[in-house]
Amino acid sequence: MGATAYLFDTIFLSHKPGLGHPERPERLSAINGKITGSRFYRELLLVDPAKPDMRYIESNHSSAYIGDVKRKIEDGGRFLDMDTGVSENSFEAALLAVGGSLKLCDAVMSGKAVNGFCAVRPPGHHAEYDYSSGFCIFNNIAIAARYLNDAYGLKRIAIVDWDVHHGNGTQHSFEGDDFVYYISLHQVPLFPGTGYAKEKGYGRGLGYTLNIPMEPGMTDSDYLDAFNGTIIPALDNYRPEIMLISAGFDAHHADPLASMMLTADAFRIFTEMLVGVANRHCGGKVIAFLEGGYNLDALSESALKMMEVFVSASRGGNNG
């Protein structure tokens, strides 16, 4: 079928939110250590980061906000907001995270890869049109969705966000549009305080937002009930042209920032189910973007299980 693409670069480690900050470079080092040490690493299509055409970032964020972020970092600022710490290389890392993600999209759309993982930081799904939020600067997955719509004409893009925190920035990017179907299951109550079931979009986007609030303490079984009973039927009805995943791993029971009880194996099963949808409707095209996950062992093990499914699918394995 094709390869599994993998985006990683040490530039993403140079974004340093500050001593003791949970969104630390070691998160990505732990993931990359697992993946480079795997048996499948030599099979991966490695994608290098690149600076993007700024119009793609401006498709999802105001030029004033982009300029403000750049100025604050150049002036030595250490926080963009109360949660989002930065360092001198954070703007470059954020740009290259976007640009590399778009290159990985190209790899999948060209057929060089069937699926892939954007192992980037800073993460993105909390970033809004004109302000940073929740450790996020630019919304990598939202910009990628707009790029796929603009550059490739895709009109049915599914985003499944399994991060334990609701992706407020991604929802707000598309809640008035119908070319993205945004599905999120997340802990409530929890930051950012959005993502209630009544939030379904508006205008032509009405019905293209699906929020599944989950109570603290939910297990693998509870999540799988949501996938089997709601998410997979909704996706099969939608028939996506590509599947994008906001892959946060902070619903793991060991994560310090939330109160869910998932095991690492849950993320393998979620991935198998979404790959199954992609196999049925869009030639297996799936791209995951790293979001949260703050226990290094739980994060890296969960990401590895997701990648094992991707590699199996790229070899022609039967998922779903």
pLDDT above 80 (res 104): yes
Give CA–CA dist 183/161, Å, rounded. 6
**Could you read off the pLDDT of 168-206 as tens digits, one per residue?**
999 999 999 999 999 999 999 999 999 999 999 999 999
Element (H, E) at 6: strand 3-7
Q: Where are the beta strands (DSSP E) in 69-199?
A: 113-118, 157-161, 180-187
Q: What is the pLDDT of residue 2?
A: 86
**Could you read off the pLDDT of 105-114 as tens digits, one per residue?**
999 999 999 9
Q: What is the pLDDT of residue 126?
A: 98
**Could you read off the pLDDT of 229-249 as tens digits, one per residue?**
999 999 999 999 999 999 999
Q: What is the pLDDT of residue 317?
A: 72
Measured CA angle at 101 (ends 231, 269), to 5 deg: 30
Look at the block and give the residue holding tokens 């179907």. 181
pLDDT above 90 (res 228): yes
DSSP string for residues in 278-319:
HHHHSTT-EEEEE----SHHHHHHHHHHHHHHHHHHHTT---
Among 108, 109, 90, 87, which residue's Cα sits nearest to residue 98?
A: 90
Mean pLDDT of the chain: 97
**Do residues 177 and 159 lie in contact, with contact meaning Cβ atoms separated by under 8 Å?**
no
Measured CA angle at 170 (ends 167, 93), to 5 deg: 90
Contacts of 37 (CB under 8 A, 6+ apart): none
Contacts of 180 (CB under 8 A, 6+ apart): 145, 149, 157, 158, 159, 173, 174, 208
Q: Where are the beta strands (DSSP E) in 192-310?
A: 209-214, 242-247, 286-290
Give CA–CA dist 316/297, Å, rounded. 29
Residue 319 — very low, low, confident or very high, per pLDDT cuts 50/70/90? low
Q: What is the pLDDT of residue 195?
A: 98
Tell me the percentage of the chain whose pLDDT exceeds 90. 98
Q: What is the pLDDT of residue 118?
A: 98
Residue 54 — very low, low, confident or very high, per pLDDT cuts 50/70/90? very high
**Could you read off the pLDDT of 56-79 as tens digits, one per residue?**
999 999 999 999 999 999 999 999
List active site positions: 126
Q: What is the pLDDT of residue 92?
A: 98
Q: What is the pLDDT of residue 261?
A: 98
* End-to-end Cα separation, the chain, in angstroms: 16
Mean pLDDT of 139-149: 98
pLDDT above 80 (res 219): yes
Burial environment of residue 301 by CB neighbours within 10 A (0 to 12, 13 to 18, 19 or more): buried
3-state secondary structure 156-181: CEEEEECCCCCCHHHHHHHCCCCCEE
The model's pTM: 0.97
- Could you count the other beta carbons within 10 Å of the beta carbon of residue 261? 18
Does CATH place domain 3-314 in 3.40.800.20?
yes
Q: What is the pLDDT of residue 318?
A: 56
Residue 1 — very low, low, confident or very high, per pLDDT cuts 50/70/90? low
